[in-house]
Amino acid sequence: MIERTLVLVKPDGVQRGLIGEVVNRFERKGLKIIGMKMIHINREFAENHYPKDMAKLFGKKTSEGLKEFGINTTKSEKELGEKTWEDLINFITESPVVAIVLEGVHAVKNVRSIVGSTSPHEAAPGTIRGDYAHASMIYSSVTGTGGRNIVHASGSAEDAKREIALWFKTEELHEYKRADEFHTTGR
């Protein structure tokens, strides 16, 4: 039940000075930081993190979102997805990000709960995205701004393993005991 997960404070979170606030939310929940660094990634690295095959999912979601907001388009789902993916790659490489590996009980699910819905306009107040981001993913698609929603969080335990291995070397992850671990582990 003890899991690891990856969180990125995206360029908009870094540029807005929200790194400390984001870290604070996870630490207050009892999640342990076992790795953290600031890095300015290049396009190749970004494409490894957000593989091109994600464009298909982006296209479907963008098409559905445009319909929901009553926006007509002549572009196919494929075209929409490729444009949204390209915008995301450009956004994530525009300035440094802070990569964090968190560890704790049900870390993936707890982190996803703390960050809120991927599309900020649907994120509940009290979540990171609900408190600090407001534009929808559809707005980002229409304006080409690349999904400015403060943070990325691994979507599953499998995603977390792949993403942590991409962002961190084994020796960059640290084992130690937090003072409050006795309350969750009994040791």
38-71 per-position pLDDT tens digit: 999 999 999 999 999 999 999 998 998 888 889 8
Burial class (CB in 10 A: 0-12, 13-18, 19+), 54: middle
Is 126 among the domain residues? yes
Is 155 among the domain residues? yes
Residue 187 pLDDT class (50, 70, 90 cuts): low
pLDDT at 185 over 70: no
Is 128 among the domain residues? yes
| Residue numbers of the domain that contains 57 | 2-172
For residues 130 and 91, give the distance between their C-alpha atoms in angstroms, rounded to a whole number: 20
Is 180 among the domain residues? no
Is 20 among the domain residues? yes
pLDDT value, residue 141: 86
User: Across the chain, what does the average pLDDT equal?
Assistant: 94
- Please give the tally of structural domains in the chain: 1
pLDDT digits (tens, 9 = 90+) for 87-116: 999 999 999 999 999 999 999 999 999 999
User: ∠ CA(52), CA(55), CA(58), 5° rounding?
Assistant: 145
Tokens for 138, please give them.
């559809």
Is 164 among the domain residues? yes
pLDDT at 152 over 80: yes
Q: Could you give the C-alpha distances from 75 to 58, 62, 144, 175, in angstroms and in order?
A: 13, 11, 15, 49
Q: Could you give the C-alpha distances from 86 to 22, 90, 140, in angstroms and in order?
A: 26, 6, 12
pLDDT digits (tens, 9 = 90+) for 7-42: 999 999 999 999 999 999 999 999 999 999 999 999
Residue 158 pLDDT class (50, 70, 90 cuts): very high
Q: Which residues are catalytic?
A: 152
Mean pLDDT value across residues 165-181: 94
Q: What is the CATH number of the domain that holds 150?
A: 3.30.70.141
Is 181 among the domain residues? no
For residues 137 and 85, give the distance between their C-alpha atoms in angstroms, rounded to a whole number: 12
Give this prediction's pTM: 0.93
Is 146 among the domain residues? yes
Rg for the chain, CA atoms, rounded? 17
